[in-house]
């Protein structure tokens, strides 16, 4: 099989698995956005995915977004930043991205808000919360995430749209399930507490970016609205 055929086969399988997982929890597949994570592949593979109808792409390095978004400028694709953003790269990155999934400090939230105000284009963003209980993993503590939402009134250049999290990927679906469930409960609780503040900038905590190649079905059963899938798309 050619690389393109492998990607097509994998994509069909993943879409089917998304549908089965959604249906098994009373949801519809259309509620879940597949974000193709392309950090480990080249432009040809991205082009294959575009040809197959994929429109959402995730990269964890800002530089990769600059290059790739420019290359595929005419293709009407949406880029999602899913990795750490340094403040000095924010200004150059923001014009290329549809969603920042990885707001992981108050300082980057302030910088993004400043840029959103300056450009008069509020930036859709998710707070990345550390749900794995592993201090070496990325993401805000719950307390720090909550504090950012408490100050949302002064962050008018950001549209807070939801939360992002990664499970501990223990290969133990009971742990993963509990972690994803916890993120959903946080999202629901914070939408109740902060929803009216957030709506002033057009925000609302509706999105849950959770689930990768190894755990996306569990994530969907727990309410994921965006799955970030890389290796399962490209593995032969
Ligand atoms: C690489 C990456 C993914 C995709 O992981 P796979 O296991 O390859 O599906 C998802 N989210 C983030 C933040 C990543 O860095």
CA-nearest of 44, 36, 31 to 14 is 36
- From the list 219, 116, 214, the residue with the least C-alpha distance to 164 is 219
**What is the torsion angle, in degrees rounded to the nearest 10, for the CA atoms of residue 202, residue 207, residue 209 and residue 214?**
-160
Query: Ligand 1 centre and the CA of 100: distance in Å?
Result: 15
What is the residue-wise DSSP string for 39-106? TTS-HHHHHHHHHTT--EEEES-HHHHHHHHHHTGGG--EEEE-S---HHHHHHHGGG-SEEEEE-SH
For residue 113, report the distance from its CA to the centre of ligand 1, in Å. 26
pLDDT tens string 133-190: 777 778 999 999 999 999 999 999 999 999 999 998 877 888 899 999 999 999 999 9
Give the pLDDT of residue 132: 87
Of 33, 60, 62, 126, the residue with max ligand 1 atoms within 8 A of its CB, to mutate for a pocket test, comes to 60
Alpha helices in the chain (DSSP H): 3-24, 43-51, 62-71, 87-93, 106-118, 142-150, 173-199, 216-221, 231-234
In short, whether 229's Cβ falls inside 6 Å of ligand 1 is: yes
Q: Which of 211, 207, 204 is nearest to 225 (CA)?
A: 207
- The neighbour count for residue 197, using CB atoms within 10 Å, is 16
pLDDT score recorded for residue 172 = 80
Atom of ligand 1 nearest to the CA of 83: 13
For atom 11 of ligand 1, the residue with the nearest CA is: 228
**Residue 134 has what pLDDT?**
78
What's the whole-model pTM score?
A: 0.97
Report pLDDT for 33: 98
DSSP state of 201: T
For residue 37 and ligand 1, the question of a CB distance below 6 A is answered with yes
pLDDT in tens, the chain (236 residues): 999 999 999 999 999 999 999 999 999 999 999 999 999 999 999 999 999 999 999 999 999 999 999 999 999 999 999 999 999 999 999 999 999 999 999 999 999 999 999 999 999 999 999 998 777 778 999 999 999 999 999 999 999 999 999 998 877 888 899 999 999 999 999 999 999 999 998 999 999 999 999 999 999 999 999 999 999 999 99
């Amino acid at each position: 099989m050619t690389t393109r055929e492998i990607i097509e086969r994998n994509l069909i399988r993943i879409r089917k698995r998304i549908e089965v997982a959604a249906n098994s929890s009373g949801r519809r597949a259309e509620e879940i956005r597949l974000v193709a994570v392309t950090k480990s592949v080249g432009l040809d593979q991205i082009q294959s995915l575009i040809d197959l109808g994929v429109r959402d792409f995730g990269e964890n390095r800002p530089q990769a977004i600059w290059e790739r978004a420019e290359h595929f400028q005419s293709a009407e694709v949406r880029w999602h930043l899913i990795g750490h953003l340094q403040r000095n790269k924010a200004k150059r990155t923001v014009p290329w991205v549809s969603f920042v999934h990885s707001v992981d400090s108050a300082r980057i939230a302030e910088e993004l808000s400043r840029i959103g105000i300056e450009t008069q284009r509020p930036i859709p963003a998710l707070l990345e919360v550390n749900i794995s209980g592993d201090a070496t993993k990325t993401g805000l503590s719950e307390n720090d995430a909550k504090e950012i939402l408490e100050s949302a009134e002064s962050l008018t250049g950001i549209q807070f749209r939801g939360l992002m999290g990664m499970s501990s990927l223990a290969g133990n679906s009971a742990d993963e399930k509990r972690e994803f469930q916890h993120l959903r409960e946080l999202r629901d609780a914070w939408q109740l507490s902060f929803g009216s503040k957030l709506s002033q900038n057009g925000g609302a905590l509706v999105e849950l970016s959770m689930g990768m190649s190894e755990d996306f079905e569990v994530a969907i059963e727990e309410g994921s609205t965006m799955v970030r899938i890389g290796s399962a798309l490209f593995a032969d």
